[in-house]
Amino acid sequence: MAVSNNGLQFLHELQQKLKGVQEELDKGPRLIKVKENALAKRQVELDEIKALHTAQRKLADQKGLQLKTNEAKLADLNAKLNMASTNREFDILKGQIAADKMANSVLEDEILDCMDQVDKLKSKVADAEKIVADAKDDVRKMTEQVAAAEAGLKERATRLLPAVAEAESIIPAEHMATYRRLVIAHGADALSSVENSVCTSCYVSLSPQQCVELRGGKFIFCISCGKLIYAPQA
């Protein structure tokens, strides 16, 4: 096995490791964002339930006030009834009082329903508040988790970067520009291993001549995908 193959395999492995570390680093903020989005959604749901609760309470208050007004009116009608001077006046007032009593009874039922709804919504608000608190906790936990992992990942990246640069010293000067272009285009996949005479990046077969040259340690770029190829150790 030629030195170049071992060196390129090592370089490729380092690049893959660095890529893995960078992907992990990139993933952190996305994981936090997912939790933040979930929290924002829960917060909207809580606000909606709170608004419904407030509206229902206002409605109950309004109906309560209406009932008080109606009761005052009824007391007034009763006073008038006591002072009615004619039978006709008496009958009219009696009819009005009966109708108003009926209306108040309906209103009282409505108020009870309303209060019942207020209670139900209040319990829903409490549930939604708990869900929001849990979602906030999720964001905090994820943020801590990402921050804890980040320190280690950054340290690994700091160690891998110079190791990659050192491993790149195996590449001959005349191929360096091509290699750099490949790294810019493909990142950690600038290199490709050859297995069973096939480039594992594009699955095109090498000629027998190229296989011999590759094993002999020649720096070869795949004729199909252009990547720097190497024969890995078995």
Q: Which residues bind Zn ion (CB under 5 A)?
A: 199, 201-202, 222, 224-225
Q: Output the smallest distance, CB 170 to Zn ion, in A.
A: 20
Shortest distance in whole angstroms from residue 192 CB to Zn ion: 5
Contact criterion met (CB below 8 Å) for 40 and 179: no
Facing residues of 199 across strands? Answer: 194
Considering beta carbons, is residue 62 or 207 the nearer one to Zn ion? 207
Helix (H) and strand (E) counts for the chain? Answer: 4, 4
- Which residues fall within 8 angstroms of residue 145, CB to CB, at 6 or more apart? 31
CB of 226 to Zn ion, least distance (A): 7
CA pair distance 108, 118, nearest whole angstrom: 15
Structure tokens at 118: 């207020």
Nearest residue (CB) to Zn ion, 21 versus 219: 219
Least Å from the CB of residue 6 to Zn ion = 20
Give the distance from CA 108 to its chain's centroid: 47
Closer CB to Zn ion, 114 or 220, in the complex: 220
Taking the least distance from each CB to Zn ion, the nearer of 135 and 228 is 228
